[in-house]
């Protein structure tokens, strides 16, 4: 299995060091799998979509305008 090195903020490192009983690599691996599965699903959905980039931009604009109107 390949290895990966991560850089984390000092504050997080301090917390992680205090809890050596936790398998931090397993937590990181699970979080990465969850994100990877979401990306795979997005890729699958996008590959079947007939929307053009312009269509997506127009839909994005309409959604944001509607949200602004609703919450402003």
Q: What is the pTM of this model?
A: 0.65
Q: What is the pLDDT of residues 8-57, one digit of tens each?
A: 999 999 999 999 999 999 999 999 999 999 999 999 998 998 989 899 99
Whether 72 shows a pLDDT value over 90: the answer reads no
6 neighbors 28 (Cβ within 8 angstroms): yes
What the block records as the tokens of 8 is: 């984390």
Torsions phi, psi of 2, nearest 5? Answer: -65, 155
């Amino acid at each position: 299995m390949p290895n990966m090195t991560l850089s984390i903020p000092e504050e997080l490192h301090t917390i992680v060091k205090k809890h050596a009983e936790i398998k931090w690599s397993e937590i990181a691996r699970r979080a990465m799998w969850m994100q990877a599965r979401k990306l795979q699903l997005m890729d699958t959905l996008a590959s079947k979509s007939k929307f053009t980039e312009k269509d997506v931009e127009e839909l994005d604009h309409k959604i944001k305008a509607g949200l602004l109107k609703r919450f402003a």
